[in-house]
Amino acid sequence: MANILEVENLATYFHTFKGVVKAVDHISFSMEEGEVLGVVGESGCGKSVTGFSLIKLIDPPGKIQADKIEFDGQDLLGKSEKEMNKIRGGDITMIFQDPMTSLNPVYTIEHQMDEMLRLHQPQLSRAQRHSRCVELLREVGIPNAEERLKCYPHQFSGGMRQRVVIAIALASAPKLIIADEPTTALDVTIQAQVLQLMKRLVNEKGCALMLITHDLAVVSEITDRVNVMYCGHIVESGPTRSLIDRPLHPYTQGLLASIPGNGETRDDERLEVIPGMVPNMFDLPKGCKFAPRCAKCMGVCMEVEPETVTVSEGRRVACHLYSGAGKEEEQ
């Protein structure tokens, strides 16, 4: 299948008075059409910034640099703000974390859905737009769609509101949806429903989904492939099943081990934690960013940043354990 998205050496830096925050530091990845990609990591690892960088929604003091951001055969880097506005909400849409705040409180749901259609499907008539709105609400499982359209966001529950947000994201029949922690703000019981809904809809529509989350359980449930991020770098990537069964990077291993009831941890065993904290973004370690917290840290890790190497089919990892230098030291 063809790649819908190709990103090479994306770097998003924030220039603040204390220094430069390298929120995303030269990452490369790609997505296939209709693929569900998970982007996982602790908070502050740059996963949300990655999402916003793709549609160039980074405000100063942030700056985006890349060798290539190619979406559906178009070069997004060279596009003007005006051209980007066609893409945003058109071929690429977003779902935000908190449905409480991502909808405008003073407009009806219909107004906010209609806005999307007016902008990106100007050929539709008023009546057509209305019926499309009703249809969309039905698709995301909101009963009484006709009536609910006239309601304001505060009249919906959190889960229902997120469904509305999903409906808005689907309105323009996008080729890629970027979902930034779409279930984090929801109740656990609602989370599963919303996830299933998203999975079903992207499958039906054949659109790709980039799911940004800190929750590996969510990832294992619906994604095809995963990028694990740490301090602005992609430390490991691969097909979901294989990555979860055989994590390569010590960070991924740590993340997986810290999920209660996962894999090797049994009831009588203590839950494992990754020692230490995410380092200060102003003062990152010199070599591998994870080295200070890593149980398998070697001398070289403190000095040299590991290259990303392909270990097996589709599995890539940035760790000295798997690169030439590390292997030598091990011997």
Binding site for another protein (CB under 8 A): 17, 55, 57, 81-82, 84-90, 93-94, 96, 98, 101-107, 115-116, 119-120, 152, 154-155, 165, 168
Which C-beta is closer to another protein: that of 66 or that of 177?
Answer: 177
Query: At closest approach, how far in Å is the CB of 52 from another protein?
Result: 8
Residue 37: other Cβ atoms inside 10 A = 24
Whether the Cβ atoms of residue 18 and residue 46 lie closer than 8 Å to each other? no
- Map tokens 């890629």 to a residue: 176
Query: At closest approach, how far in Å is the CB of 268 from another protein?
Result: 31
- Map tokens 């966001």 to a residue: 153
Query: At closest approach, how far in Å is the CB of 156 from another protein?
Result: 9
Which C-beta is closer to another protein: that of 7 or that of 235?
Answer: 7
Query: At closest approach, how far in Å is the CB of 151 from another protein?
Result: 9
Query: At closest approach, how far in Å is the CB of 252 from another protein?
Result: 29
Query: At closest approach, how far in Å is the CB of 48 from another protein?
Result: 11
Residue 166 Cα distances to 4, 102, 265, 305, angstroms: 21, 11, 35, 39
Which C-beta is closer to another protein: that of 84 or that of 309?
Answer: 84
The string over 161-193, giving b where at least 16 C-beta atoms fall within 10 Å of a residue's C-beta and e elsewhere, is bbbbbbbbbbbbebbbbbbbbbbebbeeebbeb
Query: At closest approach, how far in Å is the CB of 202 from another protein?
Result: 17
Which C-beta is closer to another protein: that of 95 or that of 256?
Answer: 95
Whether the Cβ atoms of residue 129 and residue 161 lie closer than 8 Å to each other? no
Which C-beta is closer to another protein: that of 113 or that of 256?
Answer: 113
End-to-end CA distance of the chain: 40
Which C-beta is closer to another protein: that of 86 or that of 286?
Answer: 86
Residue 129 Cα distances to 75, 78, 115, 118, 172, angstroms: 30, 32, 10, 8, 11
Question: Residue 39's Cα: distance from chain center in Å?
Answer: 5
Residue 28's contacts (CB-CB under 8 Å, 6 or more residues apart) are 7, 8, 9, 10, 234, 308
Cis peptide before 105 (omega within 30 of 0): no
Which C-beta is closer to another protein: that of 5 or that of 319?
Answer: 5
